[in-house]
Amino acid sequence: ATSSQRPHVALLPTPGIGHLIPMAELAKLLVARHGFSVTIITLAISASKAPATLLSSLPHSVSSLALAPVPLDDLPPDAHIETTMAAPATLLSSSPTPSPPSPSPPFPSTTSLPTPTLRPHGCRHSPLPPRPPRRPVPPTILRQPRRLRHRHLGTDASMSPASSASRPICSSPPTSSHSRSSSTSPSSTPPPAASTGTYPRRSAYRAASPSPDWTSSSRSRTGLTTPTGGCSTKRAGTGRRRAFSPTTFDAMEPEAANILQQTVPGRPPVYLVGPLTQSGKNEADEGAECLRWLDRQPKGSVLFVSFGSGGTLSMAQMAELALGLELSRQRFLWVVKSPSDGGDASEAYFTVQSKEDPFRFLPAGFVDRTREVGLLVPSWAPQAAVLNHAATGGFLSHCGWNLTLESVKAGVPMVAWPLFAEQRQNAVMLEEGARIALRLPRAEEGIVPREEVARVVKELMEGEEGKAVHQRVAELREASARRLEEGGAAYTALDAVANKWKATN
Ligand code: UDP
């Protein structure tokens, strides 16, 4: 089919490569399985090259529409990452309607729109020219504030690359969910009560609740929104289709999956499309030096250490981690980022690359002393490929949701070291619910001393607890592989959403 005959979908990921990656995966699947053409609209915050590199690797039928980086100078210096992530979309929501590229003939690979500007004291926009008339718009799958989606693009669905554990509806007592829900829901039907089982205590989630910005912006009355928006039931009952597609799956989060999949009047249908994330087979990664290094290591012997696209530690904590790895006497592959200056663990989130040579912050002599057992990689590694390498036997990470799913798909158990946003809730779920992670005691507060790092790392790689989480993650790996077989539950869910869109294209 030519692109003009193809159904067209626009995807709007939240800023940050960690959210672009699963959207890119989704785009590839929509093209390959359903013959869609896809436009990915990127809301940049920094001039990072990472999104452009990823986008240029996508199939021909996936084009991109890039907004120029947004200056965020007037956000308070201590603004949480969730506020920063939401700001470009908030600006866009009050700027002229961006014209989505025409679906025919082939899209330009990248189109730039003017940069919206921030005015002092908030995210309001400067006076606007009259808005052009609304164009017919394709169904969209978005993860941005409701106003933006409805006003500009007419969204049909949202996809969330986050755990269900981080959703209030799955982690709050049923009574409070009910009271939130019943106040505005078209129906007063209470959400289903949670079942019991091996799932973490709700109090554990509450204790691990994330930053205030996350909490306030993520808590919708339906309990289904994401940090920067998501599904709304506002127009439920108007006949408009809506869907919510978390990238999780039932074996990983059984109770949450059960709650989300209940039919509740006024709530959009939920399709569990997980584990949807990069496959680990990326030709561009093939030549990576760290993969060659892994080829030379014994099977299952290497601890992979990475805090995702932008997680950073303080200088003191970075030193304790280094010395703890050394003390553990385990092999390791560490993606090192420069430490955060002001204690902001998400400092490198939008830039991905460290500003300075990150190795210069390591303790004196560390590199030489660990040369035989450790490999250090600055800023970025082909993570999915590393996790899928036979030499990788454990993963110390910040519990970002995408890399967690990648770890499960590769059958690699984790040491949980949450840093920001919903990662603390993920850590609780991974330790107490899915039981695929060991957790550093209160890693998120204060400095974790080297002895603790060494103890937990050693336990994961060699100890009895390590054996248990290895076994458990192997089970989940199998479950995730079954979901990703042809006819498996993940593709069935994705196909259901795609078929709805086709019917409306
Ligand atoms: N990633 C990668 N190499 C790195 C760091 C991250 O390929 O060095 C990828 C990782 O595989 C995952 C995504 O970036 O797909 C990170 O997303 P996640 O939600 O796990 O964490 P975030 O970076 O958004 O905090």
Q: Which two tokens stand for residue 85?
A: 């992530």
- 16 in contact with ligand 1, CB cutoff 6 A: yes
170-174, 216-220, 299-303: range with lowest mean pLDDT: 216-220
At residue 35, does pLDDT exceed 90? yes
Atom of ligand 1 nearest to the CA of 404: 20
pLDDT at 307: 96
5-9, 29-33, 352-356: range with lowest mean pLDDT: 352-356
Atom of ligand 1 nearest to the CA of 379: 8
Q: How do residues 131-184 score in pLDDT, each as one tens digit?
A: 333 333 333 333 334 444 444 445 567 777 777 766 665 554 333 333 333 332
- 148 in contact with ligand 1, CB cutoff 6 A: no
Measured in Å, residue 19 CA sits from the centre of ligand 1 at 8
- 381 in contact with ligand 1, CB cutoff 6 A: yes
When pLDDT is cut at 50, 70 and 90, the band that residue 200 belongs to is low
1 or 250, which is more confident? 250
Strand partners, 435: none
Strand partners, 10: 39, 140
Q: How do residues 226-260 score in pLDDT, each as one tens digit?
A: 322 222 222 323 335 467 788 889 999 998 888 88
Helix (H/G/I), strand (E/B), else coil: 246: strand
pLDDT at 285: 73
Measured in Å, residue 299 CA sits from the centre of ligand 1 at 24
At residue 461, does pLDDT exceed 90? yes
Measured in Å, residue 403 CA sits from the centre of ligand 1 at 6
Highest mean predicted confidence (pLDDT) among 27-36, 177-186, 196-205, 232-241: 27-36
pLDDT at 111: 36
125 or 14, which is more confident? 14
Q: Which two tokens stand for residue 494?
A: 């994705």
Per-position b or e across 408-437, b if 16+ CB within 10 A of its CB: bbbbbbbbbbbbbbbbbbbbbbbbbbbbbb
Helix (H/G/I), strand (E/B), else coil: 176: helix
- The amino acid occupying position 262 is Q
- 245 in contact with ligand 1, CB cutoff 6 A: no
- 366 in contact with ligand 1, CB cutoff 6 A: no
At residue 91, does pLDDT exceed 70? no
pLDDT at 463: 98
What's the distance, Cα to Cα, between the start and end of the chain in Å?
A: 15
> What is d(CA 247, CA 256) in angstroms, rounded to the nearest whole number?
12
Q: Which residue has a Cα nearest atom 13 of ligand 1?
A: 18
At residue 454, does pLDDT exceed 80? yes
Measured in Å, residue 232 CA sits from the centre of ligand 1 at 27
The single residue listed with the structure tokens 């790392």 is 457
Pairing outcome for strands 229-230 and 225-226: antiparallel
> Average pLDDT in the 476-495 region?
95
The single residue listed with the structure tokens 């012997």 is 301
- 21 in contact with ligand 1, CB cutoff 6 A: yes
At residue 123, does pLDDT exceed 70? no
15-24, 123-132, 235-244: range with lowest mean pLDDT: 123-132
- The amino acid occupying position 28 is K
Q: Give the pTM.
A: 0.76
**What are the backbone dihedrals phi and psi of residue 462, each rounded to the nearest 5 degrees, phi first?**
-135, -15
171 or 481, which is more confident? 481
- CA–chain centroid gap for 30, Å, is 19
Atom of ligand 1 nearest to the CA of 161: 19
- 397 in contact with ligand 1, CB cutoff 6 A: no
DSSP 218: H
Strand partners, 415: 396, 438
Mean pLDDT of the chain: 73
334 or 255, which is more confident? 334
> Average pLDDT in the 251-274 region?
87
pLDDT at 268: 82
- 406 in contact with ligand 1, CB cutoff 6 A: yes
pLDDT at 203: 56
ipTM: 0.98
pLDDT at 313: 93
